[in-house]
Chains A and B, each alone.
Chain A
Amino acid sequence: MEPIFTPALHKQRHQFVIDFVKRNRPRKVVDLGCGECSLLKKLKFHREVEVLVGVDIDGAKLKKCMHGLAPIPTDYLQPTYDQLHIELYQGSVTQNDPRLRGFHLVTSIELIEHLTLPDVERFSEVVFGYMIPAEVIISTPNSEYNPLLPGLRGFRHSDHKFEWTRAEFQSWAVKVSSEYGYEVEFTGVGEAPPGQQERVGYCSQIAVFHRLRGRDGCNILFADDAEDLLSYTLLYTVNYPSLHDNNILRRVLVSEVIYWTEKLKRRWREVRTEERDESIVWCQTAAEGDECFRSSECGAEINRLMEHCGRYMAENQEEEVFGTKGQGKQESCRLQRCVSIPLAVLWTSCPKVSALSGNLSNLRHLLTTDPEVKLSQDGSSLLVDLQEQDLEEEGDHDLEDSGYTEVSQCSYSAAQEEDWEPNV
């Protein structure tokens, strides 16, 4: 049994990667030998990562675990600008696949010791010579630590093909670095008991490689892409909801706009009814509106918005009377009332709307194509229907007591007798 590390050793290895990601903010990360995807599941919370890829030879294991990487319900509720795209491949790290080129970070946690030495050779070629990521993290057991693991005979896992000492690992890493143009540092997790660290080193040794030719140089051209075969099988792919998706952006924006306009409308109506009670006809001139909004006590934000809008709101009260004039319209008299809210006001007063749309013309552009909102003809303001919908309030009569409408009578003779009692 391994001595109990706190936190557990595998967690420490993952934490090492996560800390690295937090410091270096790579945007595209691939985990080779991702197994049960536990590292990916942690990395998905670090939204500086935009592309997250996992590769493992065991497709069945991936299939079993892949749904754990799906977005959770709350990811859909308030999407942010962060993007995340996750892909899982079944494939061998000894084979090239063009889809894995151009990553910022490649991690390979406790993987290489499962490969035969010739395969390790091929692995180095694939990772450093073909994928050419900016940074690589490789961890492997440190065999010098093994005597401290009680009850351990042979390797730590039956599938291990080798377990290296620090010197063996470092000589491999240095050789690879000089061959492919990387520099390497060594560290590890799982410290030895006090006083022995120097002698045995970390339980898991880790090498961190940096590509020498500029670390932000993921813009190397991979000219030969077309010739490469796609040797990996794509098992799973998912896009996290993000405001970069125009449909989602529009949906969120329109929701926000409607929320604010509805709030305005309600408030405006309240003010109107108050005024009506005092038998003052409001809105003869739009300028008057300014004052009555200010006097109302409601949230500071909406107050500010109302102030703005009061100045601009113009009530188009048109009474259209269609008599016998024809034109195919049958409504005899329709009261159509609209309030127009200039987009500029909306944009300046609702911080969320402005943050979402970026600029005014973008806001206009996003709103024009949406069927849920109505813009004025020149597209400069939002038309809000003031039609009182609750005029047609028809209560749900289910189980409600009803009043009396009309009286009609029909009576029948009493129901015929039926005897249900079984003969006793």
Chain B
Amino acid sequence: MTGRARARSRGRARGQETIAPGASQAREPTPAPVPPTEGELVGRGRQKGTPGPFSAEAVLQISAGFQQVKLGDRGGRRRDFHDAGINTRQAMEHVKDSKTGSSGDVVPLTANFFRILSRPQWVLYQYHVDYKPQMESRRLRSALLFHHEETLGSARSFDGALLFLPHRLQGKETVLHSETKHGEKVQITITLTNELPPSSPVCIQFYNIIFRRILRILNMQQIGRNYYNPNDPLNIPQHRLTIWPGYTTTILQYESAIMLSTDVSHKVLRSETVLDFMINLRQQCGGQRFPDACSKELIGLIVLTKYNNKTYRIDEIAWDHTPKNTFKKGDSDISFKNYYKSQYNLNISDDNQPLLVSHVKRMGPAGAPPPGPAMLIPELCYLTGLTDKMRADFKIMKDLDHHTKLLPDQREDRLTRFVSNIQRNADAQAELDKWGLNFDKMLLKLSGRILPRERIAQGSRSYEYSQAQADWSKEMRGLPLISSPPLNNWYMFYTSRNSNEAQMLLQNINKVSAPLGIRTQRPVMIEYEDYQESLLRLLQQNVGPETQMLKHLMIVGIDCYHDISAGKRSIGALVASLNNSMSRWYSKCVLQHKGQEIMDGLKMALTGALKDYLKFNNCLPSRIIVYRDGVGDGQLHSVVNYEVSQILESIKSMGHDYVPKLSVVVVKKRISTRFFAHFNGKATNPPPGTVVDTEVTRPEWYDFYIVSQAVRQGSVSPTHYNVVYDTSGLKPDHMQRLTYKLCHMYYNWQGIIRVPAPCQYAHKMAFLVGQSIHKEPHSKLEDLLYYL
């Protein structure tokens, strides 16, 4: 029996789901990962590892354990959203001892982390529970075991096979006797298999489970992965929106300690049902366009139902179904309408509404085939989150921001209050005490560094900029650009309504182009009568600091865009620099379908980029740095195990003796980590250039945070960089600074952006293709920045 099969037969869901990047469904990548091994009956949490291509045999305990032992929290097979168990740092010799940089001024910061203070010598005891005769039902196993509360105590956790207790039972083996409902005698043997220290992965997972219980005790509602407080909603009635304030929480082993990372989160809910929404939409766009518009708006959205606490994603709309359709329940057929009436006493008033289809990803009970798609009744569903149309609506977003964008001091205040609320709640405290756990009351204090300001080289001169603003639009005026192709032959399209504006624009272009060194000719003016606007980007600017410190360097940015409406297609974009001054870029977009690995196509793209580089420079780059964006939670492991080897292969295809230095950096924007600087006793955003590479990073990774951009409202969100593969030998300090420099290089903005420029290019391109073009762009455009 394989490890996986054995795990299943023991009624436990094991194994980390592998999520193909780009594709949102699980699929095992090739080469197939080593099947998760069993939690063997060995001591001290040292289990056999699951070595990927980069992990040595001696796998860190922290990493290995997660894949093997999962406590049954809700019994389901769950994705590991924390990307634990991926240990990339140890393969990189040069960061084994230290991954911290050195340049810049040290600045004291706080972060949204709370330390866990468990009582000294806290140990979790892991027991294996055996039944004689074998009991199949997990429920029955629990019931039989829990008859013995006097032996086990009230603090316990049992998933059907593994029992965890915070205290030690008398002997190594305890034999208990129970009896089933039918009078069958059952002998239960509880064997001590493990003593888990507080930092072991099982314990950490355990903390998370306990913490979720605490949130439930605080009467918070779980939606998706986070918990929200329904009793104090913020209403935006003009858009029929309700916002629930809540928190994201994760407990993990960070660099030096186990900490609770928590951030304020807001859930946007609609106070109308999907049916209301449909009726409204129909009124707005009329019957003919309605089905299309409806699919476009609804597919991909998450709904809540009136009758259970689950969330569903709308994958399709079944226009040919109504609530009067029937389905098989047991042996007989029952209509949806009758089912909801009898089961939940819910009346469906509109018999002609179409149904929503959600492909349920969750597997059936162990061994059983996965259930078919769920059919949902619009009238019984509520929308959550925002549609694309709403995101594009300036008014809605402004009203939302008003409620959800928190200034750093407000955010800090809310987080502190959250933790003190837990401590004040008697029930919550009792639950924590039962397990001997406690949380720090204060936000974690740590120090970061502010990297020095970069010099911007433009034409023959260079200048500095104001760091607080992170923008040099003022400074760049009137300086000639590095290179500026003349604008000789161009057209200007405008409607007759806007002819005045067109003339004005032309005058202005003429005024500003001269000092910038752009020669412009008079355009061919074309007036047109149409509401369709064709936008022409005219100004060719070229700004950026020259990164001359590394010769023959190629920077690659990869991002993807998920086109939900077009049958869950994903678009991967790859952008690579072609010259040393980072002003020419090669780009390639690939469309990939459900279940396809994004790198299958991008491998070709990378080869193309290398060939182009060779053409431009008459040599291949000696260093390649890949910034990979668009990696979701829980997908890291497929980047590490699969994509990196694809990149290596693609490099190898250029010649056997070609061995450039390669770094692969995973870039993550959507993270819940926040940093606060303190100025005059008030929490503020840390200035652009702040780097954090201690305390809140992960011990098993070579990772760091950079705050590169400045925000005008709300709290700044740092970007997380995780170097998963690195043969460049660059010091961490240099890696950090290079990354920061690249954030200055974006062509279309004279300031610092959130991610390195190639990531932003790749993002723009994937977005353009995904939103508008829907097919692979022509290869002639490959070295032009047409997609900005």
Residues of A within 8 A of B (CB): 1, 6-7, 22, 45-47, 60, 67, 70-74, 76-78, 151-158, 238, 241, 251, 254-259, 262-263, 299, 390, 393, 396-402, 404-415, 417-422
Contact = CB atoms under 8 A, between A and B. Distances in A.
B179 A158 contact: yes
A67 B343 CA distance: 20
Interface string B455-479: 1010001111000000001110111
A409 B235 contact: no
Given A254-B237, A422-B729, A405 B474 contact: yes
Contact of A410 (B216, B221, B240, B475): B475
A415 B382 contact: no
Interface string B507-551: 000001001000000000000000000000000000001001111
A407 B179 CA distance: 87
Contacts of A238: 219
Interface string B316-331: 0000000000000011
B479 A76 contact: no
A241 B232 CA distance: 12
Given A76-B233, A258-B237, A405-B474, A412 B462 contact: yes
Interface in B731-781: 731, 734, 738, 746, 748-750, 753, 760
Interface string B329-347: 0110000000000011110
B500 interface: no
B403 interface: no
A410 B712 CA distance: 25
Contact of A72 (B309, B394, B457): B309
A407 B515 CA distance: 10
B463 A411 contact: yes
Given A72-B306, A72-B308, A158-B180, 20 more contacts: A45-B307, A45-B343, A76-B221, A76-B233, A77-B242, A77-B270, A152-B182, A154-B183, A158-B179, A251-B233, A254-B235, A396-B713, A397-B712, A399-B749, A407-B478, A408-B475, A408-B477, A410-B464, A417-B549, A422-B731
Contact of A6 (B235, B330, B512): B330
Contacts of B270: 77
Contact of B238 (A47, A262, A414): A262
B564 interface: no
Contact of A411 (B216, B479, B729, B760): B479
Closest 5 CB pairs of A and B: A255-B237, A262-B238, A258-B237, A407-B477, A411-B461
Most chain A beta-carbon neighbours within 10 Å: one of B237, B304, B473: B237
A153 B749 CA distance: 82
Contact of A78 (B237, B271, B309, B760): B271
A251 B550 contact: no
A415 B269 CA distance: 51
B761 to A, nearest CB: 12
A259 B238 CA distance: 4
Nearest to A70: B219
19 contacts: A1-B182, A6-B331, A45-B346, A46-B345, A72-B308, A76-B221, A152-B182, A158-B180, A158-B181, A251-B233, A255-B271, A393-B394, A399-B753, A408-B475, A412-B464, A414-B457, A415-B457, A417-B549, A420-B734
A60 B154 contact: yes
A237 B637 CA distance: 44
A419 B512 contact: no
Contacts of A410: 463-464, 475
B394 to A, nearest CB: 7
Contacts, number: 162
Contacts of A262: 237-238
B181 A156 contact: yes
Contact of A421 (B309, B331, B550, B709): B550
A65 B182 CA distance: 24
Contact of A74 (B228, B382, B479, B712): B382
A174 B330 CA distance: 38
B505 to A, nearest CB: 11
B478 A409 contact: yes
B283 interface: yes
B477 A404 contact: yes
Most chain B beta-carbon neighbours within 10 Å: one of A67, A254, A401, A408: A401
A158 B178 CA distance: 10
Interface of B: 146, 149, 154, 179-183, 216, 219, 221, 223, 228, 230, 233, 235, 237-238, 240, 242, 244, 269-273, 283, 304-309, 330-331, 343-346, 382, 394-395, 454-455, 457, 461-464, 473-475, 477-479, 512, 515, 545, 548-551, 709, 711-713, 729-731, 734, 738, 746, 748-750, 753, 760
A224 B330 CA distance: 51
B124 to A, nearest CB: 20
Contacts of B730: 420, 422
A87 B750 CA distance: 62
Given A45-B346, A412-B462, A153 B183 contact: yes
Contacts of B479: 409, 411
Nearest to B184: A158
B334 to A, nearest CB: 12
Describe A's contact surface by its main secondary structure.
Answer: loop
Nearest to B303: A74
Contacts of B515: 407
A8 to B, nearest CB: 10
B309 A259 contact: no
Contact of B182 (A73, A156, A398, A418): A156
Contacts of A156: 181-182
A418 B240 contact: no
Given A255-B271, A393-B394, A408-B477, A398 B729 contact: no
Contact of B748 (A151, A259, A401, A411): A401
A7 B750 CA distance: 69
Contacts of A390: 394-395
A216 B128 CA distance: 56
A393 B272 CA distance: 29
A395 to B, nearest CB: 8
A78 B308 CA distance: 15
A420 B306 CA distance: 60
Contacts of B331: 6
B213 to A, nearest CB: 9
A251 B283 contact: no
Given A73-B269, A262-B238, A157 B463 contact: no
A60 B156 CA distance: 12
A417 to B, nearest CB: 8
A417 B546 CA distance: 11
Given A73-B309, A415-B457, A421-B551, A60 B149 contact: yes
Nearest to B748: A401
A393 B394 CA distance: 9
A402 B750 contact: yes
A14 to B, nearest CB: 11
B712 A413 contact: no
Nearest to B238: A262
A404 B713 CA distance: 22
A7 B454 CA distance: 73
Nearest to A251: B235
B709 A398 contact: yes
B183 A158 contact: yes
Contacts of B273: 78
Given A399-B749, A402-B750, A155 B183 contact: yes
Given A72-B309, A158-B179, A77 B269 contact: yes
Given A411-B461, A420-B550, A45 B221 contact: no
A187 B760 CA distance: 72
B461 A412 contact: yes
Most chain A beta-carbon neighbours within 10 Å: one of B182, B270, B753: B182
A39 to B, nearest CB: 14
A157 B730 CA distance: 70
Nearest to B709: A398
A77 B382 contact: yes
B242 A398 contact: no
